[in-house]
A and B are shown apart, each in its own frame.
Chain A
């Protein structure tokens, strides 16, 4: 799956590049920072997917003028019209107020998401390409960034921390003698939680490596 991506902000380009290259079989073949360059790249490279920031300047972004950064949708529609084999994704939440620089850290987990009236779903580019043949209209999506602490919960670090605290609490209770049975239970719970956290951390690392 060959991908062209377009955003005026270099940080967004890096973020998208990382997200795309995490997908098996996906490769970024071109990057553009304005609408004209995006169209030229798409016409020359005929990518499977073009991912376009909706706040894209036509040629250059005029400083501090939001009105000069409105060409993402236009160029997306034009690519849909000219290149029926290319699936166009318009990213609609990449302005600095919605997705500030601080959230673009490589430690954070980022994923594509589609908001619909019946709910929001995350998706992979490959799923999008498998869904159906590219249509005449672009797909609208957003980039969601999960904070380090949330992804830590997911990769098991949270469970490890809670497990360690439970073990310490359990040992303390055992030390008081008269609460020893509860202490044993608490410590065993902690050991179980710690083992679970370590297992989750290991599998998450293996899964990330395999991607």
Chain B
């Protein structure tokens, strides 16, 4: 058992500061355990989101010593405890209180994206046939637990605050999961180019690095979507083809 110091961000929309708390760390504890211990013993009104405590729900996102993490999957033994551990709320979203931010923008963005639209069923009983190999890549995207850490580190959102013009990595992954779904027949490429702002992403891969589900966000979702957008709107050969072959 060791005594460790945690610097927790305390504050609301208007003002805030770090406050130091000391607490005992025992074998196997994760950062969220330490925060809960502090909450129960020293800071009853501390605001922190959590649910599953097993890396499956994506609620307890925060910045631990400056890096975006799920607190429930960050073991105290993996961070140096000989100096204070700082825990801050995500920066890309407005603060509500302490470690809790207002992530409602994400839910509004999702609502704007055209929903899943399946082709006609393959069989008379109303079911479809899909090969496992054809859904593997979409299943990768569907692992997303919506922790929004990728949104938090994306500089387009974090530094440039372009929430009105850019939907962020989470929703490119969502878009890719729909566009590459074997049954889906909707076309979202125009939206990706215009209202979703996919062009603003300059593939620095910050999002991929922080994904707790190890989704290869940039390479597997964003780049293929960018290629589809380019093929659809900027390829001169395609353009020629379309002049002679009007779309039905």
Task: Specify whether A and B are partners.
Answer: no
B residues bordering A, Cβ < 8 Å? none
A residues bordering B, Cβ < 8 Å? none
